[in-house]
Copies of this chain bind each other. A is one copy, B any other.
Amino acid sequence: MTYIADDIVCEAPPGRIEGADAYRAFMGPFVEILRGAEMIAAFGDDETALVMYDTATVPVASAPGAEFVTVEDGKIVRSRFVFDRTPFQAAR
């Protein structure tokens, strides 16, 4: 959470997540099932970054995602997050 701003706003597939506490609650369960990640592509400029990566998780072998983040004062203040929820729901 070092690079997450206290007032982060994250637009993710389940909806809008506001604040570092809510972000931690959203990401925590994912981090627990994460086995590995591989960068597919990463670009950025002084204030923003756009990345795509593949993740390997316990329930889903390949779960790619993409994130567009905005950075202020060295912390992520905004994140737009895209991934397919379908295989995770199917694995439940």
Contacts and interface: CB of A to CB of B under 8 A. Distances in A.
A68 B84 contact: no
Copies of chain A in the complex:
2
Interface in A61-92: 64-66, 68, 80, 82-86, 89
Contacts of A31: none
A56 to B, nearest CB: 15
Interface residues of A, number: 22
A22 interface: no
Contacts of A51: 50
Nearest to A43: B43
Interface of A: 11, 13, 40-44, 48, 50-52, 64-66, 68, 80, 82-86, 89
